[in-house]
């Protein structure tokens, strides 16, 4: 039996692969993209977020932390010391108002599969299924294989949402159980890739070739972040790269930059790294779509 830290299992998603899907967010990522909207999925360890606006200052969490990580003074908001917290979750259970939330619950493949199959009726009606996301699903290939194997046996369509920054062996291990791949391409300049995600892009591009050659349906996607990866040179180099992957890869989906995850940075007492980057306007998105099309790549814009 395999098990893994799961941050969330979200039903009824229509943005993470074909049809209506259940998305399993695994904890742990090998990149640190500055625009990441799931910062709670980056660390491979359990973490606690404090959602200030939900706290009533009731004091139920006072003195409860075995590590002395939570300081409560009457009438004031508690202070959570992330350095001392080991993610045991005791305080989260004590807080009736969900102001303290545990990111990372250990789940077996059986438990994940049970959660996924609950919505099978919706998958059948919409040609949907399960998507394992993160974090990076390829950091936990055995769990992905075990869950997908059960899904396949039950007729449930399987998809991974990956950055591609994982061992080639992990990708090759997961491919035979995978029906669909959502594959992110963030920047074609390796040094800029390192600057904005913490890692170069060579491994990602190698794995992209393996994914494209595998014959598994793959949708390449690009998180479009103004002033970071929306220049003509990057668009052209991305289009050229896709052409080099053959006919399985002549399409890209743009994912416009947003700040939906900003409150999660606050809950984890982390600094949001792109406060001044503007949202891409719809005219700008359309112009980038046209630029991809002018390079022979079909382009869509996600909602």
Nearer of residues 84 and 258 to ligand SF4, judged by Cβ: 84
Kindly state whether residue 87 participates in binding ligand SF4, applying the rule CB under 6 A: yes
Kindly state whether residue 101 participates in binding ligand SF4, applying the rule CB under 6 A: no
**Measured distance CA(10)–CA(286) in Å, rounded:** 30
Q: How far is the CB of 198 from ligand SF4 (least distance, A)?
A: 26
Kindly state whether residue 261 participates in binding ligand SF4, applying the rule CB under 6 A: no
**Measured distance CA(94)–CA(73) in Å, rounded:** 16
Nearer of residues 50 and 257 to ligand SF4, judged by Cβ: 50
User: Per CB under 6 A, which of residues 104..133 are in contact with ligand SF4?
Assistant: none
Q: Which of 12, 86, 227, 296 binds ligand SF4 (CB under 6 A)?
A: 86
Q: Which of 2, 13, 88, 198 binds ligand SF4 (CB under 6 A)?
A: 88
**Measured distance CA(100)–CA(55) in Å, rounded:** 8
Nearer of residues 67 and 302 to ligand SF4, judged by Cβ: 67
Within the chain, residue ranges assigned H as helices are 90-94, 109-117, 120-126, 141-153, 168-174, 190-197, 202-214, 232-244, 262-267, 282-294
Q: How far is the CB of 90 from ligand SF4 (least distance, A)?
A: 4
**Measured distance CA(59)–CA(74) in Å, rounded:** 7
Helices 141-153 & 109-117 angle (0-180, nearest 10): 40
Kindly state whether residue 242 participates in binding ligand SF4, applying the rule CB under 6 A: no
Which pair of structure tokens corresponds to residue 62? Answer: 């006072």
Which burial class, exposed, middle or buried, applies to 96 when counting CB atoms under 10 A from its CB (0-12, 13-18, 19+)?
exposed
CB 25 within 8 A of CB 38: yes
Nearer of residues 91 and 212 to ligand SF4, judged by Cβ: 91
Nearer of residues 41 and 85 to ligand SF4, judged by Cβ: 85
User: Per CB under 6 A, which of residues 24..83 are in contact with ligand SF4?
Assistant: 48, 55-61, 64-65, 67, 69-70, 72, 78, 80
| Spatial CB neighbours of 291, under 8 Å, sequence gap ≥ 6 | 232, 235, 236
Nearer of residues 19 and 59 to ligand SF4, judged by Cβ: 59
Residues of this chain that interact with ligand SF4 (CB under 6 A) are 48, 55-61, 64-65, 67, 69-70, 72, 78, 80, 85-91, 94-95, 97, 99-100
């Amino acid at each position: 039996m395999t098990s893994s830290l799961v941050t969330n299992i979200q039903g009824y998603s229509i943005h993470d692969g074909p049809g209506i899907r259940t998305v399993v967010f695994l904890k742990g990522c090998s990149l640190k993209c500055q625009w990441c909207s799931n910062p709670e999925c980056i660390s491979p360890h359990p973490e606690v977020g404090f959602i200030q606006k939900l706290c009533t200052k009731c004091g139920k969490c006072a003195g409860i932390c075995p590590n002395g990580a939570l300081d409560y003074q009457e009438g004031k908001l508690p202070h959570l010391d992330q350095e001392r917290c080991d993610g045991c979750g005791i305080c989260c259970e004590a807080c009736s108002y969900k102001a303290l939330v545990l990111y990372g619950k250990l789940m077996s493949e059986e438990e994940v599969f049970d959660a996924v199959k609950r919505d099978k009726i919706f998958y059948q009606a919409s040609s949907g299924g399960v998507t394992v996301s993160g974090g990076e699903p390829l950091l936990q290939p055995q769990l992905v294989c075990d869950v997908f194997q059960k899904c396949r046996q039950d007729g449930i369509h399987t998809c991974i949402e990956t950055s591609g920054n994982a061992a080639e062996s992990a990708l090759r291990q997961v491919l035979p159980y995978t029906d669909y791949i959502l594959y992110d391409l963030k920047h074609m300049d390796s040094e800029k890739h390192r600057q904005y995600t913490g890692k170069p892009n060579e491994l990602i591009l190698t794995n992209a070739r393996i994914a494209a050659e595998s014959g598994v349906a793959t949708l390449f996607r690009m998180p479009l972040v103004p002033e970071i990866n929306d220049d003509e040179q990057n668009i052209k180099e991305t289009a050229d790269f896709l052409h080099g992957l053959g006919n399985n890869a002549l399409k890209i989906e743009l994912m416009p930059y947003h700040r939906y995850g900003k409150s999660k940075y606050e809950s984890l007492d982390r600094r949001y790294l792109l406060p001044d980057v503007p949202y891409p306007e719809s005219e700008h998105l359309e112009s980038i779509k046209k630029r991809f099309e002018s390079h022979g790549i079909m382009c869509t814009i996600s909602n």
